[in-house]
Amino acid sequence: MQKLLLTLLCVLLTGFSFAQKRKTIKKYNIRSVTTTEVTGNKTINDNKSVYDTKGRLIEETNYDREGKFKSQFRYKYNMDDDLTEQCKYNEAGVLLEKMTVKYDVMGEKAEELVVDKNGKQVSRNVYTHNAKGLKTEKKQFDAGNKLVSVKKYTYAYK
């Protein structure tokens, strides 16, 4: 369960930072951004983000407080610029976890599936939407594909 929450948190945080910068990254043809922290006379790596020609985040490397490698994520997108795959790697480049995202015919997110390095399910989220494309339900499943929770969304209109 914690793995799922951490993975989803990473996706959300990446999405928020990415959404704010994408136009700027594309406008200035930026290919990577490296964040470092200088403490006294020591420079410590914090994060490195790599972008494609469309300004989409395609790779993100995170470092710990000492500037040592922590994790790396690689991202893939469909023709509509929707995230379709997020892979987490260790320092040796070995796949640790993979999340695939599927979309319905209306282009709305239908499923997120997280598997470990052996292809075994870690978690799965299934989404349903109304005729307007608004999310109405999120079902969360565990590694054994047992339903863990159901979150329902209702909307009030003027």
| Residue 120 within any structural domain of the chain | yes
Total domains, the chain: 1
pTM higher than 0.85 for the full model? no
H/E stretch holding 5 reads helix 2-27
How far apart are the two ends of the chain, measured CA to CA in Å?
38
| Residue 60 within any structural domain of the chain | yes
| Residue 51 within any structural domain of the chain | yes
pLDDT, tens only, 105-140: 999 999 999 999 999 999 999 999 999 999 999 999
| Residue 158 within any structural domain of the chain | no
| Residue 157 within any structural domain of the chain | no
| Residue 87 within any structural domain of the chain | yes
| Residue 16 within any structural domain of the chain | yes
Listing from the earlier edge strand, what are the strands of the sheet with 83-89?
32-39, 42-51, 57-63, 69-77, 83-89, 95-103, 109-116, 121-129, 135-141, 147-152
Contact 58, 74 (CB under 8 A): yes
pLDDT, tens only, 26-74: 999 999 999 999 999 999 999 999 999 999 999 999 999 999 999 999 9
**pLDDT the model gives residue 70:** 96
pLDDT higher than threshold 70 for residue 3: no
| Residue 119 within any structural domain of the chain | yes
What domain range includes position 68?
A: 2-152
